[in-house]
Amino acid sequence: MTLAKLAAVEAPPLLQNMVGRSPAFMEMARLILKIGECDAPVLIEGETGTGKELASRAIHYLGSRRDLPFIAVNCGAIPDSLVESELFGHHKGAFTDAKESRSGLITQAHGGTLFLDEIETLSAKGQVTLLRFLQDQQYRPLGSKSAEKADVRIITATNVDLEKLVEKGEFRQDLLFRLKILLLELPPLRERHGDVELLAQHYLKQFSAKYGKPAASLQPETITWMNSYAWPGNVRELENLIHREFLLAEGQHISIKCKANRAEHRKSIDRRLAQFVNRNFNTAKATAIEDFEKKYLCNLLSLAHGNVTLAAKMAGKERRALGKLLKKHGIKKNPEAATPS
């Protein structure tokens, strides 16, 4: 089910990419429709690849501003020295390179929506500049003697926890209050149970039409793997994978070689720790420490060419203390024989 059908409005083709039927997707769709009816600032939170810009466009085109501009910009691409010029524009001669007047993003988005992606990357100066505009929607282009007013809806997006950045003093709390009047949290693909296959089929149809190639289908084992994969890159990763495999497929049946992702590797038992799992904690800890000390001392003595004084200096320990450790583990001072007995 698409947001366009849910909203029962005529929407641009881009919205057709928002496909899903999982409970998580339907809740997201419900909120997008609700937020689209309002006209207040929105903060969209979600992992990389969850479709934050697509969601912001849906909010814009489902709202009363749909026939007016939608301007998207990545805050990380705005140089700190040009942030006011980028947002508010400038008049000719306002600064050295201002050879002609130029309208800013705020002016370009007048009446419509300004989408600021990766808002967390906005510099301290940029945060103050944006906050000043949000207070009364007035701004002064560089080189201008008078203030101007713009009617702009601000939608911002981030893939980090802005509350934590506030605690660290890296993001203004007063700005966060103004940006977070409405909050939309996009679910990661791994929480959208049942949507992976639906999205994959959707992309296959898209690429078939785009490249004029026959429609392709996914092998059952590939679908099984896709449903169990964690998708750290979310919808964007899935789209890229289907795109590549569709173009490289030999026939009309696509079989993707399944590889465990990093998260799955982390879930598996570390072979280096397997020897300890059948012991109690204290015993396992003592064994691990003893093993570390032996290996460390052997390598240390080898690097010092058997010179205990030099080895002690390298280890940051007193010579006598290091000597006791060597004796404890039965390690000889001869570097060529520096192996635990």
Give the mean model confidence (pLDDT) for residues 76-88: 86
Residue 268, pLDDT > 80, answer no
Supply the mean pLDDT for the chain: 84
Look at residues 335, 341, 337 and name the one whose alpha carbon lies nearest to residue 308.
335
pLDDT at position 6 is 46
In the chain, the percentage of residues whose pLDDT exceeds 70 is 84
Beta bridge partners of 43: 156, 183
Burial class (CB in 10 A: 0-12, 13-18, 19+), 154: buried
Look at residues 116, 115, 184, 113 and name the one whose alpha carbon lies nearest to residue 153.
113
Residue 69, pLDDT > 70, answer yes
Predicted confidence (pLDDT) per residue in 182-221, tens digit: 999 999 999 999 999 999 999 999 999 999 999 899 999 9
- Our measurement of the distance from residue 210's CA atom to the centroid of its chain's CA atoms, rounded to an integer in Å, reads 28
Of the candidate CATH numbers 3.40.190.10, 3.40.640.10, 3.40.50.300, 1.10.260.40, the domain formed by 3-187 belongs to 3.40.50.300
Sign of CA dihedral 332, 335, 337, 341: positive
Half-sphere exposure of 172 (CA within 13 A, CB side): 17
Give the mean model confidence (pLDDT) for residues 239-243: 95
Domain ranges, ordered by start, for the chain: 3-187, 195-263, 274-337
CA distance 241 to 220: 17
DSSP H helices, the chain, are: 3-7, 23-37, 52-61, 83-88, 105-108, 124-136, 162-167, 173-179, 195-211, 220-228, 234-248, 262-267, 281-303, 308-315, 319-328
Residue 80, pLDDT > 70, answer yes
Give 84's contacts (C-beta < 8 A, 6+ positions apart): 129, 142
Say whether 263 sits in a helix, a strand or coil: helix
DSSP H helices, 213-318, are: 220-228, 234-248, 262-267, 281-303, 308-315
pLDDT at position 95 is 67
pLDDT at position 98 is 66
Predicted confidence (pLDDT) per residue in 287-302, tens digit: 888 888 888 888 888 8
CA distance 298 to 306: 10
Give the mean model confidence (pLDDT) for residues 94-106: 76
Q: Which of 102-106, 238-242, 278-282, 317-321 has the highest mean pLDDT?
A: 238-242
Could you please state the CATH topology (level 3) that the domain comprising 195-263 is classified under.
Helicase, Ruva Protein; domain 3 (1.10.8)
CA dihedral 274, 280, 281, 283 (to 10 degrees): -90
Going by pLDDT thresholds of 50, 70 and 90, the confidence category of residue 278 is: low
Predicted confidence (pLDDT) per residue in 120-142, tens digit: 999 998 999 999 999 999 988 88
Task: Give yes or no for a contact between 20 and 192, defined as CB atoms under 8 angstroms apart.
Answer: yes
pLDDT at position 28 is 93
Q: Do domains 3-187 and 195-263 have the same CATH topology?
A: no
pLDDT at position 64 is 93
Task: Give yes or no for a contact between 44 and 180, defined as CB atoms under 8 angstroms apart.
Answer: no
Which residue type occupies 91? H
pLDDT at position 161 is 94
CA distance 139 to 119: 19
Residue 340, pLDDT > 80, answer no
Beta bridge partners of 51: none
pLDDT at position 42 is 98
Residue 280, pLDDT > 80, answer no
Going by pLDDT thresholds of 50, 70 and 90, the confidence category of residue 276 is: low
pLDDT at position 333 is 67
Going by pLDDT thresholds of 50, 70 and 90, the confidence category of residue 56 is: very high
Look at residues 82, 52, 81 and name the one whose alpha carbon lies nearest to residue 183.
52
CA distance 148 to 144: 9
Residue 270, pLDDT > 70, answer no
CA distance 195 to 188: 11
Residue 238, pLDDT > 70, answer yes
Higher pLDDT, 3 or 41: 41
Give the mean model confidence (pLDDT) for residues 84-101: 76
